[in-house]
Structure 1
């Protein structure tokens, strides 16, 4: 089985957002896949995807605080400044964390650890809506 579609997320505030449920709800075909791989590609350069803590929102807060201190807005040596003081820092953080995830699918579900969730990192004050291209490849059952 191959399945590809885009997920559209509304504009989110700057910070990290747990989006696991949005991804799962957008892909009902996951339930048909016994074993496979789900690839998520964020179609933007100033936001990121990462896998991390799915329960305590303080983890998302703390990572956002760390990244803002690591790459603060308005650094005077950035040349790419036409889109605002938060744009180039957003590109840097997106490059650090990445814009793609490849996740195993097992028994009709994304195979996540107990405390793992999919995060969207929004690194702009007004980043706008975001699109994720999803590609699912798998099969209904293994012939062993």
Structure 2
């Protein structure tokens, strides 16, 4: 059994679903591990991870709009606003999604479905540098 790790740095331009599938696919392929298990961990409390539709941009827009409705930016609504009005809504949105994904690796690639992509879901309005810890274990 082999294992390898890396920190993937992603620059986000602001809120939204930002696809990170390609650099992850490349890293898994280059690892030489044919079969195993990939863990992706977002090292932040105001961003999260999703496996989502990668063909229709409308699906991503609808997801973003939905989360804006269930965790709205509303001045005075939240006690925690240390970094601005999008601070607490970002934490709520991250709490409702995932900060870790686990994906099987088959034939040197994450076993994603035809229309699935891996997304970093940035919940803050400003641009941020985000870090994803990748861990791959297998043979």
TM band (smaller chain): over 0.9
SS in 1 for 2:12: coil
Output the aligned Cα RMSD.
1.3
Hey, what does 2:89 align to over in structure 1? 89
SS at structure 2 position matched to 1:129: strand
What corresponds to 2:124 in structure 1? 124
Say how many residue pairs are matched. Answer: 138
CA apart distance, 1:127: 4.6
Shift of 1:53: 0.4
Deviation string 1:15-48 (CA, Å, 9 cap, x unpaired) is 1112101222344434x22210000000100011
Alignment of 1:38-117 (within 5 A): 38-74=38-74, 76-117=76-117
C-alpha distance 12-25 of structure 1, shift in aligned 2 (>3 A): farther
Gaps of 5+ in 2: none
* Equivalent in the alignment of 2:20: 19
Unaligned residue ranges in structure 1 (runs of 5+): 140-144
| Residue 75 (structure 1) shift | 5.1
TM-score for the superposition, normalised by structure 2 = 0.93
